């Protein structure tokens, strides 16, 4: 109740176009929020009648979503909300949005505005891409160099860094650009999200996309030299000690069921000539470097499972074989997700063909859009996404939901991020929520 009231008061500034009175009157309906047994999780019934508006739901999230729908009606109709009954429930339990804060750091206020936006569209999982080669963004008490150095670059933006030598600098360097979240910041964002019925899922990239870590802790790389490797050395036990220590602090900050460990685009090149990695391959009777990555992922997964958490990885973790319990995030199209579902693994669909919101939205980006990473994912394409494509009904039950991703190589400003997010994230939210979504014209009219 306190959460809902706080949200309504905060949103009364225009986001939720209503104001509050102490008592009901001729023109001021009473708002009832009722918890009642029965009904699917997150479902609600919204009943607008003369003098009385009632939201009924089996859980607090359902009440919250009923209020979102009421807010959308009010936004459209002003103070004269039509008499209506809406009974509604989400199609998927996982309706996600991912933000990359490595390529361009975003402060916690920016992140909280994205969470507000997510709540409005009834999205409920925030995947926070906290670490990558372009910068480490989360305070880890045991390893201060991650945020004293690996969070800072002597270039104002990602392009300068990427094409200018990929160097980091000390936070006190006059040219330092970047930043990180303190553990207090993280706790604040997690609590802010919780009150909006959003679970925050942290991603800590491993074993690839880790240039920033290996620049400051080069003993964890195959060469042992800074600015040389992108992948952790899997032959070295110190790698596991480091990652488990980092994850210990991470799980202390994030109560989420899932921890995302990345796993994408690991070139594995340094492993092929590394005596320690090759020794590991022989000792563990592995066939090749893909199986070495699987060995690594299994070991991290066991560690997480022993602490009550489940692992998510990008679809590359399928390549050397995965455990039954790992959840796959399908990004290189839907193929990885289809293969994982056929094997009985849980899947989150975020194929770059439909869900990459950093891709261009028009066929004339040079003329019509800010500089971007490439691709072409117009809103119509997002809206047309069928997460069940090519799956039998048994396999469909492995699909937990969908997610839109914003990678930020070229996205430095709030305005640009909004330009990429909307209206495509709204279209994807509808893919995640509605089963009977078919009419793009209707969607466009409502937008």
Compare residues 258 and 314 and give the one whose CB is closer to ligand ACM.
314
* CA torsion angle 352 358 362 366 (round to 10): -130
Task: Give me the least distance between CB of 159 and ligand ACM, in Å please.
Answer: 18
Residue in 209, 260, 354, 416 annotated catalytic: 209
Task: Give me the least distance between CB of 267 and ligand ACM, in Å please.
Answer: 12
Give the DSSP letter of residue 135: E
195 is written with which tokens?
């009150």
- Could you give the 3-state DSSP secondary structure of residue 446? helix
- Give the binding-site size for ligand ACM (rule: CB under 6 A): 4
430 is written with which tokens?
């509808």
Distance from C-alpha of 108 to C-alpha of 400, rounded to nearest angstrom: 28
Cβ neighbours around 352 below 10 Å, total: 17
Q: According to CB under 6 A, which residues from 250 to 309 bind ligand ACM?
A: 264-265
Task: Give me the least distance between CB of 264 and ligand ACM, in Å please.
Answer: 4
CA 110 to chain centre: 15
* Nearest residue to 198 (alpha-carbon basis) of 121, 104, 267: 121
Residues sharing a CB contact under 8 Å with residue 376, sequence separation 6 or more, in sequence order: 359, 360, 361, 362, 363
Compare residues 258 and 331 and give the one whose CB is closer to ligand ACM.
331
* Nearest residue to 229 (alpha-carbon basis) of 138, 133, 141: 133
| Residue 265 is among the residues annotated as catalytic for this protein | yes
Contact criterion met (CB below 8 Å) for 20 and 8: yes
Within 13 Å and on the Cβ side, how many CA atoms surround 293? Answer: 27
Residue in 132, 139, 205, 211 annotated catalytic: 132
| Residue 209 is among the residues annotated as catalytic for this protein | yes
Distance from C-alpha of 147 to C-alpha of 186, rounded to nearest angstrom: 14
Distance from C-alpha of 406 to C-alpha of 411, rounded to nearest angstrom: 9
Q: Is 162 in the site for ligand ACM (CB under 6 A)?
A: no
Task: Give me the least distance between CB of 5 and ligand ACM, in Å please.
Answer: 39
Compare residues 45 and 260 and give the one whose CB is closer to ligand ACM.
260
Distance from C-alpha of 210 to C-alpha of 268, rounded to nearest angstrom: 12
User: Which residue matches tokens 């880790």?
Assistant: 210
- Could you give the 3-state DSSP secondary structure of residue 6? helix
Does residue 121 come out as left (phi exceeding 0), alpha (psi in the -120 to 50 range) or beta? Answer: alpha
Give the DSSP letter of residue 257: S
Residues in the chain, how many?
A: 447
Compare residues 351 and 432 and give the one whose CB is closer to ligand ACM.
351
Compare residues 71 and 262 and give the one whose CB is closer to ligand ACM.
262
Compare residues 345 and 350 and give the one whose CB is closer to ligand ACM.
350
Cβ neighbours around 358 below 10 Å, total: 24
Sign of the Cα torsion 149, 155, 159, 165 reads negative
Task: Give me the least distance between CB of 205 and ligand ACM, in Å please.
Answer: 9
- Could you give the 3-state DSSP secondary structure of residue 417? helix
| Residue 364 is among the residues annotated as catalytic for this protein | no
Task: Give me the least distance between CB of 265 and ligand ACM, in Å please.
Answer: 5
Compare residues 43 and 405 and give the one whose CB is closer to ligand ACM.
405
Compare residues 126 and 331 and give the one whose CB is closer to ligand ACM.
331
Task: Give me the least distance between CB of 355 and ligand ACM, in Å please.
Answer: 10
Task: Give me the least distance between CB of 349 and ligand ACM, in Å please.
Answer: 13
Q: Is 314 in the site for ligand ACM (CB under 6 A)?
A: yes
Q: Is 331 in the site for ligand ACM (CB under 6 A)?
A: yes
Distance from C-alpha of 371 to C-alpha of 379, rounded to nearest angstrom: 18
Sketch the per residue contact string, 363 through 382, with ligand ACM: x for CB under 6 A, - otherwise.
--------------------
- Could you give the 3-state DSSP secondary structure of residue 239? helix
Position closest to ligand ACM via CB: 264
Residue in 107, 265, 287, 386 annotated catalytic: 265
Task: Give me the least distance between CB of 288 and ligand ACM, in Å please.
Answer: 22
Compare residues 242 and 331 and give the one whose CB is closer to ligand ACM.
331
User: Which residues are marked as active site?
Assistant: 132, 209, 265
Residues that bind ligand ACM (CB under 6 A): 264-265, 314, 331
């Amino acid at each position: 109740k306190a959460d809902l009231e706080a949200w309504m008061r905060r949103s009364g500034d225009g986001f939720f176009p209503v104001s509050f009175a102490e008592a009901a009157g001729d023109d001021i309906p009473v708002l009832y929020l009722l918890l009642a047994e029965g009904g699917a999780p997150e479902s609600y019934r919204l009943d607008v009648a003369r003098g009385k508006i009632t939201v009924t739901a089996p859980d607090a999230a359902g009440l919250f979503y009923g209020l979102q729908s009421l807010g959308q009606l009010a936004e459209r109709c002003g103070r004269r909300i039509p008499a209506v009954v809406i009974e509604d429930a989400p199609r998927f339990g996982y309706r996600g949005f991912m933000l990359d804060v490595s390529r361009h750091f975003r402060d916690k206020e920016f992140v909280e505005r994205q969470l507000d936006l997510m709540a409005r569209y009834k999205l409920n999982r925030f995947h926070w891409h906290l670490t990558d080669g372009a910068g480490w963004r989360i305070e880890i008490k045991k390893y201060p160099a991650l945020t004293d150095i690996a969070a800072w670059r002597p270039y104002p933006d990602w392009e300068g860094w990427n094409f200018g030598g990929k160097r980091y600098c000390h936070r006190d360097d006059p040219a330092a650009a970047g930043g990180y979240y303190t553990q207090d910041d993280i706790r604040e964002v997690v609590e802010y999200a919780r009150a909006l019925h959003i679970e925050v899922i942290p991603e800590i990239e491993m074993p690839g996309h880790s240039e920033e870590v290996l620049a400051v802790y080069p003993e964890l790389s195959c060469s042992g030299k800074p600015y040389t490797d992108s992948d952790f050395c899997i032959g070295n036990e110190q790698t596991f000690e480091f990652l488990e220590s980092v994850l210990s602090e991470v799980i202390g900050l994030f109560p989420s069921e899932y921890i995302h460990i990345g796993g994408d685009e690991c070139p594995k090149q340094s492993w092929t000539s590394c005596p320690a990695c090759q020794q590991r391959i022989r000792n563990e009777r592995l066939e090749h470097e893909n199986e070495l990555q699987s060995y690594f992922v299994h070991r991290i997964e066991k560690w997480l499972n022993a602490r009550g958490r489940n692992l998510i990885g990008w679809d590359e973790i399928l390549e050397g074989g995965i455990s039954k319990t790992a959840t796959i995030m399908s990004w290189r199209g839907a193929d990885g997700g289809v293969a994982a579902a056929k094997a009985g693994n849980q899947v989150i669909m975020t194929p770059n063909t439909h869900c990459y919101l950093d891709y261009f939205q028009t066929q004339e980006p040079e003329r019509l859009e800010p500089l971007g990473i490439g691709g072409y994912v117009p809103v119509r394409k997002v809206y047309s996404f069928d997460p069940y494509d090519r799956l039998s009904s048994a396999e469909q039950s492995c699909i937990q939901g969908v997610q839109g991703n914003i990678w930020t190589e070229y996205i430095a400003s709030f305005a640009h991020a909004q330009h990429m997010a909307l209206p495509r994230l709204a279209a994807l939210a509808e893919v995640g929520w509605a089963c009977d979504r078919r009419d793009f014209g209707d969607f466009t009219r409502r937008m």
